Amino acid sequence: MTERATAPLQLPERSRRRWPAVGATAAIGIFTVLTCLPAIGGVDVDFSALVRNWSNGATKVNQLLHPNFAFLPRTVSPMLETLAMAVAGAAFAAIVSIPLTLWAARPSNPNPVTRQLVRFIININRAVPDLVYATVLVAMLGVGTLPGFVTLFLFDLGVVVKLVSEAIDSSDHPYLESGQAAGGTQAQINKVTLLPQSWTLFANQWLYSLELNVRISAILGIVGAGGIGRLLDERRGFYMYGDVSVIILEILVVIVLIEACSTALRRRLR
Amino acid sequence: MTEQSPPAQSSESSAPWSISLADVSVTYPNGTRALRNVSVDIGAGEIVSVVGLSGSGKSTLIRTINGLVTATSGTVTVGGHDVTSLRGRRLRELRGHIGMIFQGFNLADRVNVLNNVLVGRFAHTPTYRTLLGLTTAADKDLALQALDSVGMLEKVWTRASSLSGGQKQRVAIARALAQEPSIMLADEPVASLDPPTAHAVMGDLARINADRGLTVLINIHMMDLARQYANRMIGLRDGEVVYDGPAGTATDADFAQIYGRPVQTDDHSGSQR
């Protein structure tokens, strides 16, 4: 029992093809350094400027560090507006995302033409920055929560359809074959097996899009798309950094609360 | 069990079908020749095991019968229908008459047992009814009967993920039976199961053949199970038929010929006969 084999272990030859990984790492490293050379259009990393101009920002930082809590009551109604936009945008996007995702994923849509078409449309949708949507929609629909809601809807739709369809693409679907063997149409297979199998993928992204919405809607207000962002932009315009500080803190609290809720929900979704 | 089978099961739709492969070859897009000039005739109501090592073409052979794999050349005739010429709706209708079970069970894990079995009614249900979730009482009854016949009725509301391997394969058999098939195909149905469960599942398949008279085709690589449960055995090696004869009297020498090597202990399921 205690006696070990004395012969040395014969290890098989290890592959020596490690240079691709080394090369890729080196290339990324060199590229990163090059991006910091202004002479060739890189970012001008100038830390001395930060030190020289520190006093310009210091008063603002100082104000930000002294939040004006007396302003809090005025933020309640815009924050509720923001939440309404965020929830409505995420909810409508969730409903519309179901058929679009099934069209965009290979296991649920073997037809390459319609699949690529839906993916193309979603890619266009994602290529447009949310601020551009908001600006155009504010011009079309007027200042308020409606353009904000539509912006968030479009943004969420892109996120959910892209991420969920890719997740469906990369997971295993053994039941597809049994559904085909039973003579089912793709629609039947999707409805009875693929969709129930994919609910957790959907639910995760729906909750994530809700979280994103609260963050984004703080920015959307800057172009007039309603909610807390509009108030934030107004107070910033008046240089009332104490009020801005309260709003930022409030957004932080709301985001943390929503994240806590969605984390709890996700844990129950397994 | 079948003395009181509902009239639907004795209807013409579930009368057994014959299978005929004439000079069938399959070459996959990557150049692999999975089947080479295979000609096999299986009569209605036969129970046949297809034996061979991994990669011998067993899975391809069985999939040409329901058109999951299309023959590159040759013709596959099933119940008088030329499978190779069927497409789309006609092919789905044909598949509705051919039940199939798999090594990996191929259930939807997060879906309950009843809905998994109702997959077997796809070919007999208009798509809009499935999309609207409208299940007819007759279909539900068929699904429940099928579950009962494999002893899984009490699990009807259970999620497939919480079943054991043997239970999953029984639900898969029920799914195939719910089709009221004329042919039952089984692709390595017991390779993922322990020996006692393997015998139970093979027994179910033999019973389906004996009681319902269905044509049953079983891919299997374990010699003892192939001998014990099938009447006829077809041996495949490198995509070619190298044995076709009675299963019970196949000798170890026959298996050595099919496998292209001496018989090993792994070739048995390892339990009592």
Q: Enumerate the β-bridge partners of residue B9.
A: none
pLDDT score, position B271:
56
Task: Identify all chain A residues contacting B108, using CB atoms and an 8 Å cutoff.
Answer: 175, 192-194, 196-197
- The answer to whether B227 touches B250, Cβ cutoff 8 Å, is yes
Task: Identify all chain A residues contacting B109, using CB atoms and an 8 Å cutoff.
Answer: 197
Radius of gyration of chain A (CA): 26
For residue A127, the Cα-to-chain-centroid distance in whole angstroms is 13
Select from B105, B120, B131 the Cβ nearest to the Cβ of A187: B131
Distant-in-sequence, close-in-space partners of B117: CB < 8 Å, separation ≥ 6: B143, B146, B147, B171, B174, B175, B178
Task: Identify all chain A residues contacting B91, using CB atoms and an 8 Å cutoff.
Answer: 183
Q: What one-letter code names the amino acid at B169? A: Q
Conformation bin of residue A7: beta by default, left when phi > 0, alpha when psi is -120 to 50: beta
Chain A stretch 193-212, residues whose beta carbon is closer than 8 A to a beta carbon of chain B? 193-194, 196-197, 199-200
pLDDT score, position B11:
42
pLDDT in tens, B114-133: 999 999 888 888 888 888 88
Task: Identify all chain A residues contacting B112, using CB atoms and an 8 Å cutoff.
Answer: none
Select from B98, B106, B110 the Cβ nearest to the Cβ of A196: B110
Q: State the smallest CA–CA distance between residue A70 and chain B in angstroms.
A: 52
Does the pLDDT of residue B220 top 80, yes or no? yes
pLDDT score, position B272:
47
A99 CB within 8 Å of a chain B CB = no
pLDDT score, position A166:
92
CA distance B23 to A97: 48
Task: Identify all chain A residues contacting B95, using CB atoms and an 8 Å cutoff.
Answer: 180-183
A11 CB within 8 Å of a chain B CB = no
Does the pLDDT of residue B2 top 50, yes or no? no
The answer to whether the Cβ–Cβ distance between B105 and A174 falls below 8 Å is: yes
- In terms of pLDDT, which residue wins out, A175 or B3? A175
- The answer to whether A231 touches A75, Cβ cutoff 8 Å, is yes
The answer to whether the Cβ–Cβ distance between B102 and A174 falls below 8 Å is: yes
Q: Give, in order, the Cα–Cα distances in Å from A223 to each of A75, A137, A228, A247, B1.
A: 18, 10, 12, 17, 73
Does the pLDDT of residue B5 top 50, yes or no? no
pLDDT score, position B270:
61
With 0.90 as the threshold, say if the pTM is over it.
Answer: no
The answer to whether the Cβ–Cβ distance between A183 and B107 falls below 8 Å is: no
- In terms of pLDDT, which residue wins out, A140 or B2? A140
- The answer to whether A229 touches A82, Cβ cutoff 8 Å, is yes
Q: State the smallest CA–CA distance between residue A163 and chain B in angstroms.
A: 21
- The answer to whether B33 touches B21, Cβ cutoff 8 Å, is no
Name the nearest CA neighbour of A107 among A201, A16, A40, A227. Answer: A201
- In terms of pLDDT, which residue wins out, A207 or B247? A207
* Helices A72-104 and A228-237: angle between axes, nearest 10 degrees: 130
Task: Identify all chain B residues contacting A174, using CB atoms and an 8 Å cutoff.
Answer: 102, 104-107
Radius of gyration of chain B (CA): 18
pLDDT in tens, B30-60: 888 888 888 888 888 888 999 888 888 888 9
Q: What percent of chain B has pLDDT over 70?
A: 93
pLDDT score, position B228:
85
Task: Name the residue of chain B whose CA is nearest to A178's CA.
Answer: B106
DSSP A3: P
Q: State the smallest CA–CA distance between residue B129 and chain A in angstroms.
A: 9
Edge-first strand order for the sheet with B19-27 is B33-42, B19-27, B73-78, B81-82
Q: ∠A254-A258-A263 over CA atoms, to 5°?
A: 150
Distant-in-sequence, close-in-space partners of A240: CB < 8 Å, separation ≥ 6: A68, A71
Interval B179-188 mean pLDDT: 90
DSSP B229: H
Q: Give, in order, the Cα–Cα distances in Å from B120 to each of A7, B96, B140, B183, B269.
A: 59, 8, 11, 13, 30
The token pair at A124 is 């266009």
Q: How many CB pairs below 8 Å do chains A and B form together?
A: 94
Mean pLDDT by 10 residues, chain A (270 residues): 68 77 90 80 74 77 81 85 88 93 92 92 89 86 84 91 92 89 90 90 88 83 80 85 87 88 80
pLDDT score, position B7:
38
Select from A174, A177, A183 the Cβ nearest to the Cβ of B123: A183
- Number of C-alpha atoms within 13 angstroms, CB side, residue B1? 13
- The answer to whether B169 touches B177, Cβ cutoff 8 Å, is no
3-state secondary structure of A174: coil
Task: Name the residue of chain B whose CA is nearest to A194's CA.
Answer: B108
The answer to whether the Cβ–Cβ distance between B118 and A192 falls below 8 Å is: yes
Torsion angles phi and psi, residue B172, rounded to 5: -65, -40
The answer to whether the Cβ–Cβ distance between A188 and B92 falls below 8 Å is: no
Distant-in-sequence, close-in-space partners of B7: CB < 8 Å, separation ≥ 6: none
Ranges of beta strands (E only) in chain B are: 19-27, 33-42, 47-51, 73-78, 81-82, 98-101, 183-187, 215-220, 232-237, 240-246
Select from A174, A179, A197 the Cβ nearest to the Cβ of B122: A179
The answer to whether the Cβ–Cβ distance between A189 and B122 falls below 8 Å is: yes
Task: Identify all chain A residues contacting B118, using CB atoms and an 8 Å cutoff.
Answer: 192
Q: What percent of chain B has pLDDT over 90?
A: 10
Chain A stretch 169-198, residues whose beta carbon is closer than 8 A to a beta carbon of chain B? 174-175, 177-185, 187-189, 191-194, 196-197
Q: Enumerate the β-bridge partners of residue B186.
A: B101, B218
For residue B200, the Cα-to-chain-centroid distance in whole angstroms is 15
Task: Identify all chain A residues contacting B116, using CB atoms and an 8 Å cutoff.
Answer: 193
pLDDT in tens, B54-81: 888 888 999 999 888 888 888 888 888 8
Q: State the smallest CA–CA distance between residue B75 and chain A in angstroms.
A: 19
pLDDT in tens, A224-258: 777 888 888 888 888 888 888 888 888 889 888 88
For residue B216, the Cα-to-chain-centroid distance in whole angstroms is 7
Q: A174-188, B189-203, B213-227, B251-265: lowest mean pLDDT where?
A: B251-265
Interval B213-218 mean pLDDT: 89
Q: What are the start-end ranges of the H helices in chain A? A: 19-34, 47-52, 54-64, 72-104, 112-127, 130-141, 145-170, 175-181, 186-189, 195-220, 228-237, 241-268
